[in-house]
Amino acid sequence: MSVSWLLRFGAVCGVILGLSTAVPAFVEAFTGETTATSFVIGIGAAFGAPALTALYLRQSAATGRFGAVAFAVNLIGLGLFAGVAFALNLVLFYLDEAVVDAVLDGPTNLAVLGSAVVFVIGTVMFSISMVRARVFPWIPAAGYGVTFTLLALLAPLPDTPLTSAIHVLAGVSLLWLCASLWTSSSPATSRPASPDVVGSLDLGHR
């Protein structure tokens, strides 16, 4: 199994996750939460780990130790948050509100909050690593950190047009990153030089 295949596989998984984040949110802005949209969101979260792994493989040589730590924290947080998303959208969604309140009371609520904290920390760290590495376009790299952090922070609140818009932006950021990933056939070998460095090298050769 080649690294190129893993990158393409991760890109496809990222596209599925991006679409399952953005499309249901767009629909829910007009219809509210439905069984179909909850199902898509709950299942789509499973594709996050392969997508994140491919993004890291693409930029690993350019991110150093910080990038490795950021990937590890984000991967753990993503796994925890995917479990929360699955439970909320495919289990608790079908229960009465009183039952949901009882389930989320006590240790379960602490576990959900802890998962969100780890997810947010990992997401911010990995976003910073992408921006610093300059392997991916900086707009979706930064957007990944901002939008997915907001998703976690706003998750306990009722669905509004604002939360739907953030879901859409998060999905678009991920789709943009995966489009860049798909066009890459191999991992980056080093961090791209900044324009100032390149300019100084050119002057040195004159």
Nearest CA-CA partner of 41 in 6, 105, 4, 91: 91
Whole-model pTM: value is: 0.84
Q: What is the pLDDT of residue 107?
A: 86
Spell out the per-residue pLDDT of the chain, length 206, in tens: 678 888 999 999 999 999 999 999 999 888 888 999 999 999 999 999 999 999 999 999 999 999 999 999 999 999 999 999 999 889 988 888 888 888 888 888 888 899 999 999 999 999 999 999 999 999 999 999 999 999 988 877 777 888 899 999 999 999 999 999 998 756 665 555 544 444 443 444 44
CA angle (18, 72, 43) in 5-degree steps: 30
Q: What is the pLDDT of residue 167?
A: 94
Rounded distance between C-alpha atoms, residue 98 and residue 104, angstroms? 10
b/e per residue 55-68 (b: at least 16 CB within 10 A):
bbbbbbebbeeebe
Q: What is the pLDDT of residue 62?
A: 92
Rounded distance between C-alpha atoms, residue 48 and residue 45, angstroms? 6
**Cα 134 to the center of its chain, rounded Å:** 17
